[in-house]
Structures are given as C-alpha cells and as structure tokens.
A and B are shown apart, each in its own frame.
Chain A
Amino acid sequence: MEYKVEAHRIMSISLGKIYNSRVQRGGIKLHKNLLVSLVLRSARQVYLSDYYSGACLNAQSEREGNEWDITDSEREKFPPSTTECDRVESPEEPQLTEQPEASEKEREYRENDAEKSERVDCTSTSEQESNQNSSLDSVSTETTTESPSDTTVAERDSTPVVVNGESHQPPKTHVCSSNRKRSAEESESGDAPQKRTKVASSNTKEDEEEAEEMDTGNVSNLITIFGSSFSGLLSKDGTKPEAEAEESGQICCDQMLKNLNPWSTAIVAF
C-alpha cells in the first residue's frame, strides 16, 4: 500500500505544480509541464493499475460490488430518456465534432459490455460500437456510481458527496463534466489523456496548447474546477495522509481510498 500512498502523494504534488505554473512569470513552461505530466501519468498508472487489478480487493470488493449493483439499479432508476440524452449530448456535441472519430476509437474503456447496447442510440457517435459510447451514456446515469472514486467531490460545485457508492442526484450542470471525467478515467491508464472536451482534457495538454492557442474559455473552465475542487481536496489530502500513517491495516486502506478516489477523477480532469 505504501507505493499507492506514495503515488498519490506524487500525483497531488504534480497537480500543485501544474496549477502554480499558470501564475508563474514568463508564461507556462512547456518542458517543465511535460515532465510533470509524465510523472503524473506514471504515478496515476501505478495507482490505478493496482487498484483495478484488485490489489485492494479486500477493502474494495464490497464497494465494487455496490458499484455495479448500483449501476444496474441506476439504470433502472434513470432509464435512458431523450431528455437525459439530450442533456448529455448537447454539451458534448461541440467537443465531439471537434474530435475526429478516430481518436475515440483509440480509447479503451473498461465498461461493462452489457451496458453498451443500451446506450448506443443516445449519442451522436452511435455508429461506433465501442465502449466509449456506452460509457458516455451510462455515465450520465451513473455519475454517482463508478468506482468509489466516483466523481465526486471534485466536480460538484461545493457540496461534498458521500462517496461510498450510494446513489445521489448529481447537479444537472455537471452531468457532462462527470461524463467526461468518468470516461476519461475509465480509459486505459497510460494512454494519452482524453481531449474530448475542455473539462476532461488533461490540463497539461491544455497548458501546452495554450502556449499557442490561448483558448480562454478552456482556461476559465479549468480554473473554476481547480478553484472549487483543488483547494478543498488539497487540505483534505494534506491532513489525511499524516493521519493515515499512524493507523494501520485495513482501516487505513479504506479511509485512504475513500479520499484518494475523488482525486483520481480530479486528476483526470486535467
């Protein structure tokens, strides 16, 4: 578990560096941000790959079980309706049209295959029979589920969400951001971060692009997300690891992961 804690710590430090690079004199340094993003990716790989490989299955098995259960139950509660799909679609469309469809094919998702078929018709990329579509759609209804990492706290405006697999109503405005974060997170770790939308895209890539393009819309979006999610999580994160270090065993693992998981999605927000 130590390396997971270490990986998490490195991830949070990296995020801090990327955030601070925005206010540094002389503009964003491409080289440094590239290196930081590589470290971030490595740390995330270590953290997530271990997580999904079930290394913490003891602590996680219940939660994961809940997740998929809730997925099904969520699906029942929130059957794909046109309104929902529309809501999902509209913010996504501009970004989807930006992205060549080929890039979506490159992304791999770990979504349950069963969900795929039900969601395909709801997106503009329905012609693609890949998991991405299903994940996109299902995300809209499953925003609360996912992995315990569930969303979260990072995307919600300032209302902390209890992260233990319970279902709750996500704020409508954030459905899409959750979608992307979810889908981005689900993608094979280690791949180039999703650039689907402003929100989901890797912030480092944003930075690099900003060096040339300066899309002020993206900047303000990301700053908003940082502003709300980052500071809160930082303080939480700052205290938690120290506390955890003193504890031992399963309890530590559980509590740690509860807090770490929202981080994953926040990271993916980059």
Chain B
Amino acid sequence: MDGHGDGQSRWCLSQVKGAVDDDVAEADIISAVEFNHSGELLATGDRGGRIVIFQQEQENKSLPQCRAEYNVYSTFQSHEPEFDYLKSLEIEEKINKIRWLPQKNAAHFLLSTNDKTIKLWKISERDKRPEGYNLKEEDGRYRHPSSLTTLRVPVFQPMDLMVEASPRRVYANAHTYHINSISVNSDNETYLSADDLRVNLWHLDYTDRSFNIVDIKPANMEELTEVITASEFHPLQCNTFVYGSSKGSVRLCDMRASALCDQHSKLFEEPEDPSTRSFFSEIISSISDVKFSHSGRYMMTRDYLTLKIWDLHMESHPVETYQVHGYLRSKLCSLYENDCIFDKFECCWRGDDSEVMTGSYNNFFRMFEREGQRDVTLEASWENGSPGCPLKSWRVSTGSRRKRNEIGVDCLDFSRKILYTSWHPQENIVALATVNNLYLFQEKLN
C-alpha cells in the first residue's frame, strides 16, 4: 500500500491556521477551501458565514528551501443568517462553496454561496490615497474659502495596504432547495448553481434572472428517488457540464442540445457489485464530489468509500478506482448511527493531473499517484509533525497486531475528519481543513 519503505513521505507540514484549543465554536468550523487560479490566494469559508483569504508571500530568495508562507490577506462576513418567513425556516449562513473567477485585472473576484444565495465578491487593494486637496483639510474638514490663496494638484501618496472586500452582486431567490455546488464557466461570463433538484445558469452581470437547465423534480414528490449532489462545468468546453446524483451516477450534459438539459448526453454509472449489497449500499454510492481534471479529459468522483476516475469517452465504468478507506465497509451500521455516513468528502487533482487526493477520518488524508499506482495515508496533526519535517505515512489495520505507525480501525476518531481539500494549481502545496484548522503541506524539494 505504501510505496516508501521507510514510511516517509515527500510531504512536510508547512503551516497550521486557526485556534489550537480543543474547544471549537460551531461558527469556526471550516466548510470550504479553495486556491485561486494562480495559487497566490487561498480562500476558506466557515459555518459562521465568514471568508478568510490567505496570500502567499513573495518568495524569500535567501531561503530557497522553504516556499513562501500564506498569511491572512482579508477577512469578511460573506453571508448572514436569514429567516424565511414564509416557510418558517432559518437559512444557515454556512459557506457551502467558494469559487474564484479567473483574474482579469488587479482586483480578485470570487463567488461564495450558502444554502440559498450566491454572492460575487470583489477583493481589491488600496495602497495609495490622494492627498493635497484644495478645499479640504487632511482630516476632511472643509477649509474656509477666504484661506485659499494658492492652488495645488492633489497627488497620490502611499498608505498602509488596505484590502477591501465588497459584494458586487447578490444572486438570490433562485433555489427552493439547498445549494450544493457552484461552478464558473470557462467563458468567464456565466456560472451554474445546483441544488438538490435543479441546476441554474446565471450570467455574472445579471442578478435578476437565471435559467433553469436541469430539473429532476418529479411531478409527484413521492416518486423522488434521487437528488443532485454535485455539479461542475467542463474546464475547457463552455457548453458541457456534469452533475452527480445520490444514486452514484454522473450525467454529462451539452447545453447546445437543448435549453433544458434533462436528457443527458452521457451517463457514467458503474453497476453495483451485488456481493456487497447492504442496507447502506445506496447511501455509500451517493456522489459527494465531482471534479474535472485540468486537462478536461478525465473526471473524478468521490463516494463514501472510493475515488473513481472516469475517462469522459467511456461511460460504462471508471478507468481507475481507489479505495479510500475500505476498512469502513464493515462499520457502516455504526457510521450510519453517528451520522458519519452522510459526510460529504471532497477531492482534488494535482495541477498536472498526475495525482489525486481526498480526506478521511482521524484527520487522515489520502493521496493517490495515478501512474505508479502508489498511495499514501498522511495525518494532519500539529502535534506530531513539525514544519519542514517529512510526514510519516500511516496504515490502518483491521487485525489486532500493531506495528509502528499503524492504527486499528476501532481506534479511529470519527469526529476528526478532513472533508475539504484544495491543491495549488502549479506548485505542490496542498491545503486541507480539519474541523477548525487549516493545514498547509508542501512537498520536499529534494
């Protein structure tokens, strides 16, 4: 399982962000992690509706061994709790997804969403301000006209860097059910938002209209058998998107075919193995995340126990299947009881699509090398690793004998889980969230 003989991996702990005490406030629990397209910025969202953006510092030439660190760049409140008076329901402010727009000018734009409303945020820097007004004093008071004897041209003077986040658009009232995904189109003008039963297409500039492109709501809700769980636009083809369902299938749709894409163009589904059927087969086959590769040739899906990589040209079965934590298969009943079976793990691709990674329990995360068929289990823990020190890989054993760096299935801590991960698009830096901490790992350079 572990390709490294001495149990050492290539990865080192780089930074840990967030409080280190065990007492975690609900609002501080991280619910979204996303690098931007250059990797310079890393955004995290939490259950309290806040977004914290970290910026990678400029490389320090004198310390080539260490890559630049990420420090807080901006913090703002993206969403507030709301109340739907008509249905007497509270709308959580928890940030479900963050997606960055490709950068077009000096400012950065991102989309953030909670259960019902999507917002477009502009993050801009201000490091100069005009000084030398004629009519105003420096503190803003107006000067008496009689004191004006000369004229001068105001000039921009440097000031302390100020990062401002302002909401530029609010896309509201388009979703009856809970939004689970947003995805920016490669045309950089439109994006999609998906809830349990519908996928809507928006133009970034218009908040008062949205086009419904997928609707799987049955005429009779009693006949409901599946819901949409994740959706994403193709990274290169602006007409193509996919959505995953709770039944374990992924549908690829082409918007050129018709306005309403209820008829899929491709259906990616692997027949269920009847020998593993149990009460919980349906739950564990539910797709929790779907991600296209950067090349656009492949697509990765995450369900409860596995990661599958699909070739878009082949619908019948995935080209690669990786067991994330197959040892949990015998524990499904307990995981159902403690609700862990409903955890939605995300997954991500490395920048060159050669590796994929996803999270697990006990603060473990798993990385799979596609070519070499090697995989590794690492732990996100600030106690066990010091910055710069290579992480030791772990094994989970089902037997009773324990070797070093082995842990028994029954000793796993299911309250510590890594659901959200993001891989730097160019460098080998990964960001992942445990319950309330953000971990950054980077690959050893030698």
Within 8 A of B (CB), among A41-92: 42-43, 46
Taking a contact as CB atoms under 8 Å apart, the answer to whether B246 and A35 are in contact is: yes
B153 interfacial by beta-carbon distance below 8 Å: no
A26 on the interface (CB 8 Å rule)?
yes
Task: Tell me which residues across on chain B come within 8 A of A262, comparing CB atoms.
Answer: none
The answer to the question of A245 belonging to the interface, with a C-beta cut-off of 8 Å to chain B, is: no
CA separation between A193 and B220, bound complex, in Å? 12
Is B422's beta carbon under 8 Å from chain A? no
A45 to B87, CA, bound (A): 34
Contact for A25 among B87, B92, B279, CB less than 8 A: B92
Residues of A within 8 A of B339 (CB): 17
Interface size on B, residues (CB 8 A): 36
* B342 interfacial by beta-carbon distance below 8 Å: yes
* Chain A residues positioned under 8 Å from B282 (CB to CB): 35, 38-39, 42
Binds A, one of B222-230, B235-243, B320-328, B430-438: B222-230
State the Cβ distance, B411 to closest chain A Cβ, in Å.
Answer: 24
The SS class assigned to the A binding surface is helix
Chain B residues near A202 (CB, 8 Å)?
A: 222
B280 touches A39 (CB 8 A): yes
Q: How far is the CA of A25 from the CA of B221 in the complex (A)?
A: 23
Structural contact, B221 and A205, CB atoms closer than 8 A: yes
The answer to whether A31 touches B229 (Cβ under 8 A) is yes
Q: In the complex the two chains form, what is the Cα distance from A38 to B86 in whole Å?
A: 29
Among listed A111-119, A157-165, A206-214, interface-contacting one: A206-214
Q: Does B91 have its Cβ within 8 Å of any Cβ on chain A?
A: yes
Q: In the complex, which residues of chain B have a beta carbon less than 8 angstroms from the beta carbon of A6?
A: 333
Instruction: Mark out the residues of chain A between 176 and 211 whose CB falls within 8 Å of any chain B CB in the assembled complex.
Output: 192-193, 195, 201-202, 205, 208-209, 211
Could you say which residues of chain A place their CB within 8 Å of the CB of B196?
Answer: 30-31
Interchain CB contact under 8 A, A27 and B337: no
Q: Closest CB-CB distance, B1 to chain A, in whole Å? A: 30
Beyond A13-B336, A26-B91, whether A212 also contacts B227 by CB under 8 A is no
Query: Which single member of A17, A26, A34, A195 contacts B227 (CB below 8 Å)?
Result: A34
Q: How far is the CB of B341 from chain A (nearest CB, A)?
A: 8
Cβ–Cβ contact A10 & B279, under 8 A: yes
Interface residue? A105 (CB, 8 A): no
Q: Which chain B residues lie closer than 8 Å to A205 at the CB level?
A: 221-222, 224
Contact across chains for B337 and A13 when beta carbons are under 8 A apart: yes
The chain B residue with its CB closest to the CB of A11 is B279
CB <8 Å contact, B221 and A38: no
The smallest C-beta distance from A144 to any residue of chain B, in angstroms, reads: 29
Interface size on A, residues (CB 8 A): 30
Docked pose: A30 CA to B218 CA in angstroms: 14
Interface of chain B: mostly helix, strand, loop or mixed: loop
Whether the Cβ atoms of B283 and A25 lie closer than 8 Å is no
A73 → chain B closest CB, angstroms: 36
B115: interface (CB < 8 Å): yes
Residues of A within 8 A of B91 (CB): 26-27
Report the bound CA distance from A29 to B94 in whole Å: 14
Given the complex of chains A and B, what is the CA–CA distance between A30 and B180 in angstroms?
11
Q: Closest residue to A10 on the B side, CB-wise? A: B279
Q: In the assembled complex, which residues on chain A have CB atoms less than 8 Å from the CB atom of B337?
A: 13
B266 on the A face (CB < 8 A): no
For A25, A26, A208, the residue with the greatest tally of chain B CB atoms inside 10 Å of its CB is A26
A32 within 8 A of B: yes
Q: Which chain A residue shows the least CB distance to B94?
A: A26
Q: Does B89 contact A (CB under 8 A)?
A: yes
Asked if residues B336 and A30 are in contact (CB atoms below 8 Å), the reply is no
Asked whether, in the complex, the Cβ of B246 is within 8 Å of the Cβ of A10, the reply is no
User: Which B residues lie within 8 Å of A195 (CB)?
Assistant: 220, 222
A10-B279, A31-B196, A192-B223 given; A26·B88 CB < 8 A? no
Known pairs A13-B337, A202-B222; A30 contacts B177 (CB<8 A): yes
For the complex, what is the distance from the CA of A192 to the CA of B225, rounded to whole Å? 10
CB–CB A26/B342 < 8 A = no
Q: Are A34 and B222 in contact (CB under 8 A)?
A: no
B221 touches A42 (CB 8 A): no
Per-position binary interface string of chain B over residues 194-209, scored 1 when its CB falls under 8 Å from any chain A CB and 0 otherwise:
0011000000000000
**Contact status B178-A29, CB under 8 Å:** yes
Q: Report how far A43 CA is from B332 CA in the complex, Å.
A: 14
- Known contacts A27-B90, A27-B91: A39-B336 contact under CB 8 Å: yes
A25 and B220 alpha carbons, distance in the complex (Å): 26
Q: A10-B279, A30-B178, A211-B177 are in contact. Are A35 and B286 (CB under 8 A)?
A: yes
Query: What residues on B are CB-neighbors of A26 within 8 Å?
Result: 89-92, 94, 115, 178
A255 to B283, CA, bound (A): 32
User: Chain A's nearest CB lies how many Å from the CB of B277?
Assistant: 9
**B-contacting residues, A10-33, CB 8 Å:** 10, 13, 17, 25-27, 29-32
Minimum distance in angstroms from B219 CB to a CB of chain A? 11
Residues from chain A with a CB closer than 8 A to the CB of B224 are 34, 205, 208
Residue in chain A with minimal CB distance to B115: A26
**Contact A10/B342 with A25-B92, A34-B246 known, Cβ cut-off 8 Å:** no
Rounded to whole Å, the gap between the CB of B179 and the closest CB of chain A is 12
Tell me whether A35 and B90 are in contact (CB under 8 A).
Answer: no
What are 24 A-B contacts with C-beta separation under 8 Å?
A10-B333, A13-B336, A25-B90, A26-B94, A27-B84, A27-B87, A30-B197, A31-B178, A31-B180, A31-B246, A34-B224, A35-B246, A35-B283, A39-B283, A39-B336, A42-B279, A46-B279, A192-B222, A195-B222, A201-B222, A208-B224, A209-B221, A214-B87, A214-B88
Given A30-B197, A31-B178, A212-B176: 7 more A-B contacts, CB < 8 Å: A13-B337, A26-B89, A26-B91, A30-B196, A31-B196, A31-B286, A43-B279
Q: Which residues of A pack against B, CB within 8 Å?
A: 6-7, 10, 13, 17, 25-27, 29-32, 34-35, 38-39, 42-43, 46, 192-193, 195, 201-202, 205, 208-209, 211-212, 214
- Closest 3 A/B residue pairs (Cβ): A26-B92, A27-B89, A30-B196
